[in-house]
Amino acid sequence: MKNRASALAMLIAGFLVTSTGSVASGQIEPGATEPVVRYDGHKVYRVTVKDQREYLAVTSLADDVWTHSPGLGGLDVQVSPAKQAALEGLGLPTRVLIADVQGLLDAERAEILRRRQQRDLAWFQNYKTLAEINTQLSAWSTAYPAMASTFVVGNSLENRQIRGVKITGPESAEYPKASRPQILFNGCQHAREWISPMVNMYLGDQFLIQYASGGTVKDLLDRVEIVIVPVVNPDGYEYTWTTNRLWRKNRRNNGGSFGVDLNRNWGYQWGGEGASTSPSDETYRGASAFSEPETQAMRDMVLANTRLRAAIDFHSYSQLILSPWSYTSTLPPDSSIFNQLNASMQSAIQGVHGQFYDAGPTYTTIYPASGASGDWYYGAGSTPRKILAWGFELRDTGTYGFVLPADQIIPNGEEIMAGMIDLASAIAFPAKISLPDGVPSFVEANATSTVRVNVSASPGETLNASSLKSYARVGSGSFAPTALASLGGSLYSATLPAAGCGAQVQFYIEAMTTSGKTVRLPADAPAAFYSTPAAELTLTLDDPCEVNNGWSLTTAGDNATTGRWELADPIATAAQPGDDHSASGTKCFVTDGRGGAVGDYDIDGGKTTLTSPAFNGLGSSGSVSYGTIVSYWRWYSNNQGSNPGTDNMPVEISNDNGATWHTLETVTENAGAWVSKSFVVDSIVAPSAAMKIRFVAQDLGGGSIVEAAVDDVRVTVASCPLDPADVNGDGFVNGDDYDLFAEWFDTADLRADFNHDGFVNGDDYDAFAEEFEN
């Protein structure tokens, strides 16, 4: 272990930071032929430029341009110590993003080594070498032989294999593998963008793992095939681990310089705007279109896979969803389809951790880039079929840039997984159906109820409006159809039938397109369906938060210096709502509702706690409780400032008047809107007559902007009157009750006095039997 750790230390210590730094004497990476280069004193600045003159002035002083939008506006540039005074002397709006590039790289190197020495570390909690990635691809094919198969795309310039994996559900007669549409994910055309291969691998891992759980992922993989090529540029990626951490291009020897930018080497509109003819430039396009073996191999793979319907090329950084075109500002023929899918993926991604990804055509959203993969996939690779294509820029927005900490691999993967499920759904199904509020935990007994449904056609399809129906039943029997009622746009209402207390209402949703294709939710309906119990719903707390009905605005241990909870009519800022949630009210609980600049009154210096008054979570006597539902609307923002996304807001519940607390959720979502949450708390704590809920908003790291708000808090108890024949009180009348009553009756236990006449005799047995049968 000691020798292995030493070798790892030598490997990681060999990182170089850029191609134009200073040589550190005597430090040669084992197996490498180049000396280590350091970037002591280098900084990354964000400079705002408003015209071409300012742009040229800044870039002439830059050692490297980090930003993925090198044009007017914010420009991220790496600058050596000798040029920093000149840059700052330009008098342009400037702020330092990274004060010490070498220090950041040293910290990354040390953290990777530290994590590698942890025996229980999960695979996605650290960055992986090319060899480790390839080993994991092989491990998938071994662990999931019916679903995962590896393949070799081709070989790189230095003869390394470019490897990939195909992932899909097992063979089926209904959806034969050979006819399933394919979706391609590829990464690491640019070697230094380490988060790119890790997110690609995370997607593969989650598709395989989540398939076994059923639900959406299983429905998708039974209908589509996912193709993943995590490292398109293996030579460059290897070079970032052994020689130069910030290397971008492949390793082509240009005779005096090295490297071709693979994402300027694709053959559609190659050689135009946004690609360089200079071999030393970071965006060098190469000697000709597809001059590089890496792009040739990818081209040939795409042309050979005639089932390919969508492709995403993952990069970093900037948090962007980029659709065609890259080479021109002219909109593509399918711009309406791209707009629809851009917005849908954007929403799905933001719904996970609140991270916003700007979306639009590459040329107008960030910069011109001819010879890019997305343009070729869509423009040339589509023949004879259509390939919808994107470039994604992953986390972050400049705090760490290419040197994203390993602890962001999993959250970045989680949010992108949501976006890719959304995209795959559009490819797999002719329409998309969802329940924006989820399946209701309970519906009101003996009354019809409604469920909101979102229905939208997939690209290229049109909904048949008269086909939109819910199918429902109470208990067993046939499902009865009811037309969905339009609520405007893609939102509809499904009406569910009335059911007696304790009965199950079962339902599914169906839609058809004008081309005659049918989609259902759940996908395998009617064999699969949703089920929700009917119960009497009793509000035990209904607080619109217009007056303080006993809420505590602080608790022992609170130490926030600003942004403490108050009941107020909030004034809008970039992080705070301008209105409460209630349609008829004005106030809510908010972390200092005053306006001003975004950081004037946000939470600083610690935590602030909002605690409810005690409420009753129990049903009435003589009833059996099925569940206690706690619901509320919340606002949370932590995606601004110099250290965004580093805090969270625990929401906790107590069943002993606040003596102990249990987590309901830990909020990290930055929705920029009021969000409704509802929990059946019985699986977390046993309901009691002395329950409380609290919201702990906190700023525990420097530089982050944290704002929170709470409104419309409700507690509902779902229960049904106790059936007299339910003698064991478990909410069901069955053989257990019969056996228990017989035991009481045989022993003349007065609990068998069913008619309450003071005697245990045959009259009691007859009365119980009649109630039992009913």
| Active site members | 393
Residues in the chain, how many? 774
d(C-alpha 548, C-alpha 588), whole Å = 10
d(C-alpha 147, C-alpha 150), whole Å = 10
DSSP character string of 241-272:
HHT-TT--S---B-SSSB---GGG-SSSSTTS
Coil vs helix vs strand at 568: strand
Other residues' Cβ atoms within 10 Å of the Cβ of residue 594: 15
d(C-alpha 383, C-alpha 140), whole Å = 32
List beta partners, residue 562.
604
Q: What 3 state SS string does 114-146 have?
A: HHHCCCCCCHHHCCCCHHHHHHHHHHHHHHCCC
d(C-alpha 350, C-alpha 356), whole Å = 6
d(C-alpha 19, C-alpha 52), whole Å = 26
3-state helix, strand, coil in the chain (%, to 5): 25, 30, 45
Confirm if 197 and 238 have CB atoms less than 8 A apart: no
Burial category of 491 from C-beta neighbours within 10 Å (exposed 0-12, middle 13-18, buried 19 and up): middle
Pairing state of beta strands 182-187 and 308-316?
parallel
For 13: left if phi > 0, alpha if psi spans -120 to 50, otherwise beta; the answer is alpha
Nearest to 386 by CA among 460, 318, 320, 281: 460
717 token code pair: 């108890």
Cα torsion 229, 414, 603, 642 to 10°: value is 0
Annotate 38-49 with b (16+ C-beta within 10 A) or e (fewer). Answer: bbebbbbbbbeb
DSSP character string of 357-422:
-EEEEHHHHT---TT-HHHHHHHTTTTTS--EEEEEEES-SSSSTTS--GGGHHHHHHHHHHHHHH
